[in-house]
Amino acid sequence: MNKLEKHHQQPFEDLKQLDGNGNEFWYARALSKLLGYADFGNFLNVIEKAEKSCINSGGKVSDHLGDITEVVQIGSGAKKSYPSFRLSRYACYLVVQNADPSKPVVASGQTYFAIQTRRQELQDDEGFAQLKEDEKRLFLRNELIEHNKQLVEAAQKAGVETHLDFAIVQNHGYQGLYGGLDARAIHIKKRLKKSHKILDYMGSTELAANLFRATQTEEKLKRDMVKNKEKANQTHNQVGKKSKANYPRAGWNNA
Do residues 133 and 244 share a domain? yes
Do residues 172 and 232 share a domain? yes
Torsion of CA 187, 192, 195, 198, to 10 degrees: -60
Are 149 and 211 a contacting pair, CB within 8 Å?
A: no
Task: Tell which of 48, 76, 94 closes a domain.
Answer: 94
Residue 66's domain spans which residues? Answer: 3-94
Question: Does residue 56 form part of some domain?
Answer: yes
The domain tally of the chain equals 2
Question: Does residue 244 form part of some domain?
Answer: yes
Give, as one character, the DSSP assignment of residue 194.
Answer: T
Question: Does residue 238 form part of some domain?
Answer: yes
The per-residue DSSP string of 61-88 comes to HHHHEEEEEEEEE-GGG-EEEEEEEEE-
For the chain, helix (H) and strand (E) counts, in that order, are 12, 4
Do residues 236 and 142 share a domain? yes
Distance CA 25, CA 12 (A): 11
Do residues 169 and 57 share a domain? no
Question: Does residue 100 form part of some domain?
Answer: no
The pLDDT profile of the chain, 255 residues, written as one tens digit per residue, is 444 344 446 788 889 999 888 888 999 999 999 999 999 999 999 999 999 888 877 788 999 999 999 888 777 778 889 899 999 988 998 898 888 877 878 877 877 777 676 666 666 655 666 667 787 787 788 888 888 888 999 999 999 989 999 999 999 999 999 999 999 999 999 999 888 988 888 888 888 889 889 988 988 898 888 999 999 999 999 999 988 876 665 555 445
Question: Does residue 183 form part of some domain?
Answer: yes
Distance CA 196, CA 17 (A): 47
Question: Does residue 116 form part of some domain?
Answer: no
Question: Does residue 159 form part of some domain?
Answer: yes
End-to-end alpha carbon distance in the chain? 19
Question: Does residue 242 form part of some domain?
Answer: yes
